[in-house]
Amino acid sequence: MPKTNASALLVAPLERLLLGIFILLIPFQDSALQGTPLRFLGASPAFIPLLLILFLRLARTTTSTVIYRNPLLLIIIAAFATLLTSYYSIFIYMDKYSFSILVYKLFSNGILYFFALYAIFAMRYQNTNMRRFVIASFVIAVGGLVVTALLHLRFFEYETIFHFTPNSNLRPRGFSMEASDFGATIGSLSLLSAHYARKILRPIILAIGTGAIIFSGSKGSIATWTISIGCILVYIMSHDTKKNHAKLLAYVFTAYAGAVILFIGYDYVLGMLYQSLPTTTIPTRVTMMFTALYISLTSPLGVGLSGVIPAVSQNVPHVVHFLQNMGFDNLNYTEVLGYANDPTGNDISAKSFFFTGLMIWGLPFIILYIWFNVTLFTRLWKYNNSPYLFGAFTFSFVGLSSYVGLLNLYCLSMVYGILYETCFRQGVNRITGFSLPSKSRGAGGHPIENSST
């Protein structure tokens, strides 16, 4: 056997082990690393195995990682455009923020987005052993809710190695920074676990996931979970070729039970909505949505990684004034107006990856974002035979488009990484010089490559 192939065979088990560790560390999203010099690498320790995998691949003379020309070219163009717009924004907004703060934001956010996208496009998740790690990660996430919100163990609940950010609103958050991040973690991991688990365990996993999301009190997570479960039912009914009466009765019963639950929970959900109106949750998200749209119109190519904070700080007062003139003058804009005078920009957030990406990369991001997700939807609908993987896509897409970001939420990066590997892996357009794994036929007759990691 050639030396290069032997080296690849020796490194592959280590990469699989590191990938498994990465998946197990996904639920920990608010670690004490934020209080160390490594804070620019993120709040989740999951970046450590990612970084080790990257170093392993860079140190090897050959690699089994498949890289395609088109994605690589797109990554190079996007990186160059991001650096160009970020460099431009530094000098445009230096009168509002210091040069050091803007450069630090470019550096730190650039690293965090690199890790998030690396977990999507460079990892090889399609391995049988990964199923156990995904389910174990879901158990850890649920365990975080148990030890913090139910058992109230101080070592896990308060500022220790597991938490750095104070829980200001006292909502259940597990090992995450806040309830919305916890809901996104539980939702994505539970649907992936249902996809990988045995048939008898799937109802239990979904029931636990539903209970954990409702208990967290995250309105965005509850709404996104409801949409995802509805899409799963629609997917099952649309792909049911047998059309037997037993399944039809099951669907009718499920719809009836859902209607009853919706009727019973209507007052509860409506009460939560009215309760949130005097708070800052909804006004902040609505204001940031309009702010992102306004920034994309004034800067069609985006403001880069360094320009988001000063652009938001500069335009938020005008957007709030616009919303008040439109009749939304009874909302609480305290939090979002604080963005205008934030000296460091650490608290400024668009609360959504879609609107954050719209500000960073502008209108080209919208085109790529819509194309990528529409392609995933189309291929999953045609060739995929797992309603739970389709549900995981729906949950991740709706969540990233509405109420959570991508940074530190490696659970969503993992979902999209599995989807990318499932729907986009083809045997063409590789860079010359990289080893070529053997092929087998995938769903729908598309060539699917054997995983090497």
CA angle 445-450-453, nearest 5°? 145
DSSP 8-state secondary structure symbol assigned to residue 26: T
Mean pLDDT value across the chain = 78
Contact 407, 42 (CB under 8 A): yes
Our measurement of the distance from residue 422's CA atom to the centroid of its chain's CA atoms, rounded to an integer in Å, reads: 17
The arithmetic mean of pLDDT across residues 416-436, rounded, is 58
The helix or strand, by DSSP H or E, that contains position 439, with its residue range, turns out to be strand 439-441
Q: From the CB of residue 344, how many other CB atoms can be counted at a distance below 10 Å?
A: 12
> Tell me: the pLDDT tens digits for 303-353?
888 888 888 888 888 898 888 888 877 777 888 888 877 767 677 778 899
What is the C-alpha to C-alpha distance for residues 22 and 53, in angstroms, rounded to an integer?
A: 10
- Judged by average pLDDT, the poorest of 5-14, 150-159, 377-386 is 5-14
Helix axes 353-361, 363-383, angle to 10 degrees: 140
E strands within 149-257? none
User: pLDDT-based confidence at 205, cuts 50/70/90?
Assistant: very high
Our measurement of the distance from residue 101's CA atom to the centroid of its chain's CA atoms, rounded to an integer in Å, reads: 26
Task: Kindly report the pTM of this predicted structure.
Answer: 0.83
Contact 162, 15 (CB under 8 A): no
User: pLDDT-based confidence at 150, cuts 50/70/90?
Assistant: confident
E strands within 347-391? none
DSSP code string of 84-151? HHHHHHHHHSTTTS-HHHHHHHHHHHHHHHHHHHHHHHT-----TTHHHHHHHHHHHHHHHHIIIIIS
DSSP code string of 34-50? GGSGGGGG-SSTTHHHH
For position 37, what pLDDT does the model report?
80
Contact 127, 153 (CB under 8 A): no
Our measurement of the distance from residue 11's CA atom to the centroid of its chain's CA atoms, rounded to an integer in Å, reads: 28
> Tell me: the pLDDT tens digits for 216-238?
888 889 889 988 988 888 888 88
User: pLDDT-based confidence at 253, cuts 50/70/90?
Assistant: low
- Two tokens, residue 340: 């205008």
> Tell me: the pLDDT tens digits for 260-298?
555 555 444 545 544 555 556 778 888 899 999 999 998
Contact 184, 404 (CB under 8 A): yes
DSSP 8-state secondary structure symbol assigned to residue 152: -
